[in-house]
Amino acid sequence: MTSTEKIQEGILALSKTDYQQLKQWLNELDYDEWDQQIEEDSNAGKLDFLIAEALEGKKKGTLKNLEDL
């Protein structure tokens, strides 16, 4: 049995409360990793094209207000 299979078996044996806590923890871990990746991409200039697109849309008058969506 692989480590992954052991973990899966353990998850299936969790109580509903423990399972919910594990899900919450995994979601937070995923969000933290996503935030870190966005920060790294932003610092590396990989998202600068989004600023350029927004400024161009504002200049052309095609930029939409998020509150209107």
> pLDDT tens-digit profile of 6-56?
999 999 999 999 999 999 999 999 999 999 999 999 999 999 999 999 999
Q: What are the residues whose beta carbons fall under 8 Å from the beta carbon of 47, sequence distance 6 or more?
A: 38, 41
Inside any domain, residue 36: yes
**Lowest-confidence pick of 26-30, 48-52, 57-61, 65-69:** 65-69
Inside any domain, residue 42: yes
Inside any domain, residue 27: yes
Inside any domain, residue 7: no
DSSP-derived 3-state class of residue 30: helix
Inside any domain, residue 1: no
Q: What is the CA radius of gyration of the chain?
A: 21
Inside any domain, residue 20: yes
Question: What is the separation, in whole angstroms, between the first and last Cα of the chain?
Answer: 50
Residue 69 pLDDT greater than 90, yes or no? no
Domain count for the chain, please give it.
1
pTM: 0.65
Query: Residue 31's domain spans which residues?
Result: 15-64
How many Cβ atoms are within 10 Å of 42's Cβ, its own excluded? 13
Alpha-carbon span 11 to 22, nearest angstrom: 9
